[in-house]
Structures are given as structure tokens and as C-alpha cells.
Amino acid sequence: MMNQEPEDYRGSIVYTQEYGYKTVTLTVSIAPDEQSHVTSYAYNLPLSEEAEHLQGIDLYHFSVTDGTQIQLTIDTSTGSQEAWYTVHPDTLIAEHSSIEMDIVRSDESIPFEYAYTQEALNEALTHYNDQIPNWLDQTSTNSPIHDLLDQTSNSPIHDLSDFGR
């Protein structure tokens, strides 16, 4: 028996607290005829969060403070769905939700940009895996890096542990 997500499952919210800063990353699955909107309310000031629109997914990443309320709205052809979340000192709590989202608390994180770049690199390496050996075979032997490698290949190995002493 396969573990299937409910039909109204829309993605995840990752709450990260690191070095005194708190961030939230929402990954929202949407259909082509849908739109999502996220508004955060810190100190009663509404702020419309920007999304990175990927194919079938809206990605939001923003900073939060204790007490910030987050409103997620998904506009569909049949109306709107809404969810509210509140940031507490050590967690994020769903207050009201007609949208099914996983809430993940991440104590340990890597910078968001690095994770996104690493994921893209892994996908590219997987996609072009069968072509990589050909790229290596086509490397020019007249390239400047090849000349540099030839110059250093006959040099003795240097121990840099004493460097600067």
C-alpha cells in the first residue's frame, strides 16, 4: 500500500531558527489556473511576500519574528482557500487552515541559496551524466589550464603547513 497525500495537500512550510534569525520557506503546489499569495503581518503591518514562480510551484522565503502572522491564500477557479500561521518563540503553528501543508521545524540548516544551487547542480549532473565523459575527452590540450598543469606537474610537492612561519 502506497502512502498518498490527501487531495488538498499543497506543500510544506519550513521554519528555521539560526543565529538569532528566523526564516520561513513555503513551497506551494499550484495548478496552472491558480495563484497563491502570502502576506506576513509583523507588528500589525502587512507585507506582501514575493514568490519565485517555478513550474507548478510557488516558492516563498522570508524572515519572521515572534508573533508574525502568515496568511496563505490560493485563488482557484472555484474560489479562494486560506490558511493562517503564527510564529512562536520555538515553532510555527497553524491557526486556521483549509489548506493541507506540512510544517517542518529545522534546527540545523544550510544557507537557502546554497541548498537551491546544490539541488540544481545535482539535477544537471543527473540529466547530463551520460555526456560528461565526452566533455572530458574533448578538453583542449592547448588550453591555458592545460599549460599550467604541465608546468606544475614536474614541480616538487610543497608542504604549506610551514607557510608564514
On whether the CB atoms of residues 72 and 38 are closer than 8 A, the answer is yes
CA distance 70 to 88: 12
Domain coordinates of the chain in residue numbers?
9-107, 109-138
Q: Give the C-alpha distances (Å, rounded to integers) separating 146 from 66, 134, 136, 143, 154.
A: 55, 17, 12, 5, 13
Average pLDDT, the chain: 75
Strand order in 69-76's β-sheet? 45-48, 35-42, 69-76, 79-88, 91-97
pLDDT of residue 45: 93
Asked whether residue 122 carries a pLDDT value surpassing 80, the answer given is no
Which 8-state DSSP code applies to residue 46? E
The answer, yes or no, to whether residue 149 has pLDDT greater than 60, is: no
- What pLDDT digit, counting tens, does each position of 4-34 carry? 444 578 899 998 887 778 899 999 999 999 9
Answer yes or no: is pLDDT of 2 > 50: no
Residue of higher predicted confidence among 115 and 2: 115
Q: Is-contact 87 24, C-beta < 8 A?
A: yes
Does the pTM surpass 0.85? The reply is no
50-80 per-position pLDDT tens digit: 999 998 999 999 999 999 999 999 999 999 9
Q: Is 9-107 a CATH 2.60.40.10 domain?
A: yes
